[in-house]
Structure formats: C-alpha cells, structure tokens
Amino acid sequence: MDTLKRGKYYYLGSSFRTKNRVIYREKYLGKKIPVNIKVLREEFLRECLSVEIFKRLDAIKEKYSKEWQKLPQSIKKERLIDLSINMTYNTNAIEGSKITLEETEEIVRRKISPNRPIDDVLESINHSKLFFRIIDAKEEISIKSILNWHKELFFETKSDIAGSFREYSVKICDYRAPDWQDVKKLMDEYIKWYMDNKDKIHPVELAARMHYRFEKIHPFGDGNGRIGRLIIIYVLARAKYPLLIIKYKKRKSYYHALEQSEEKFLQYIIRRYVKIGARLI
C-alpha cells in the first residue's frame, strides 16, 4: 500500500491479486495527509481485502471445519500431535535449534531424547505442552497469560528471564526495539488494541497484526519469536480457523516481511494462508 501525491492531492493506493487478476484501488485523502493516516490505511486495506480475499479465507475455514468434523476422535488426537510436532520443530529451528523434525517427533510422541543440547530438548518438550494449552485456552489473552507462556517455555533453560519483560535495550540487526522502560505501557496498549478489535476484524488479519506488533515491541530478552508465533496459533485456534505454521525453510521471506510495514506483513500472512490453506488438515 502506498500514499500517493498527484498535484496538490493525496491518495491511498493498493493492488492485490485475486486468482488470475490484479485489482487496484484508490482512496482520496485530500490536500494534506490526515493525522490518523495509520487508521485510514488499516481501514482502506480491510476494504480492499473484503472484496474477495477474506471470502477465500472463510472458504478455507469452512472446508477445514467440514473435514475436521468427519474425523474420529482418535484421528483428531493424532492430527493435533502432528501439528504440535510440526510447530515445535519449525519455530525452534527458526531460532537456531539443531533438533530435526524426526528428533522432535521422538521427543514429543515417544518421549525419547536425542543426543542434542539439553536446553534444546527441554524447550521442545515445553513448547509442545504449551501448544496444547494454547489451542485449548478459554481465557482472553492478557499480559499475565503472555508472561505465563514465556515462563512455561523457558523456566528450565533461561530461568533468569523466564516470565519477565526485559529491563534493558535490545537491537535486532538494524532494528532497535523500544526502550525497556516503555515496554509495560506498550504491552498494555497492545492488549487494549486486541480487546477493542478482536470481534471487529477478520481472524487472519487479527493474527497477523498481533504477531507483527508483538515483534516490534519485542518485550522479552529472548523468545519473542516463539511467543509471537504462538500468538498466531492462539488467535486462529480461538476463532476455529486452521492453524498457520511459519516454516523454517521459509524463514527468509518471513524475516523480510517482518522488516516491512504492517500492511506488507499482513499481505504476506494472507498469501501464505491462502497458499497452504487447503493442506492444513
């Protein structure tokens, strides 16, 4: 999405692909860029996506729901274990774990520990357990629940930071995260934004924006990526949408999308969701 200037006037412009064609739309802003341009950009992109994209996402959910209902309970249980293995392997691999997909399955399904660093093994075990707790969560996400997730994931391997927001500055490549003294305020605003929008915007959009904003705050000293990707799982599971797992092999495009604007990241997540949606069950 771009802010365009033609002579004395400003417009918002956005192009997006639907099946085999590209649709371009514009929205007139006036002679000056409005002070609430961020909100206007969100609303305009939502209007564009509502034309056809969100309908495709809803069709994915409908197909998923019908297929899921046909499955016996024992098969559902196995599918969920497979998802936890897949999610655990990929999210940890993105963060540098050397445990393979096959070894993750041995850990989660058969309780067999490979000859790998003990911290990687423990974090695999804890992540799988946390995955199941999150997809069954009944309570609304909150600062308390996010801190608890972080503690549950890292209490055995990073006990000095587990379950606590950072109290120091961090820099990720060229991105400098907000000052640590602002983290609590930013997280309060983050949860408020969720509560204000959870019933207003599409679940896939909500998941993408929640993940992007969380990563930009970067509230923890370590583990932000894994908690952020679990937030995607939380939002989609709560809305009964098929889950989206960020693949280790696709990490470069994922990182590149996170470096872009929030709207660009949203479009990246939607493309990934549409592309693999039919294979999520």
- Does the pLDDT of residue 281 top 60, yes or no? no
Cβ distance 91 to 254 under 8 Å? Answer: no
How far, in Å, are 52, 202, 204, 260 from residue 22 at the CA level? 12, 22, 21, 21
Residue-wise pLDDT for 187-237, tens only, equals 999 999 999 999 999 999 999 999 999 999 999 999 999 999 999 999 999
Q: Which residues sit opposite 52 in a β-bridge?
A: none
CA–CA dist 225, 218 (Å, integer): 9
Q: What's the token pair of residue 51?
A: 């034309």
The residue ranges of every structural domain in the chain are 52-279
How far, in Å, are 175, 212, 229 from residue 171 at the CA level? 6, 16, 20
Pairwise pLDDT comparison (174 vs 24), residue with the higher score: 174
Nearest to 207 by CA among 269, 272, 135: 269
How far, in Å, are 96, 179, 255, 266 from residue 90 at the CA level? 10, 30, 14, 20
CATH of domain 52-279: 1.10.3290.10
- Does the pLDDT of residue 18 top 80, yes or no? no
User: Whole-model pTM?
Assistant: 0.84
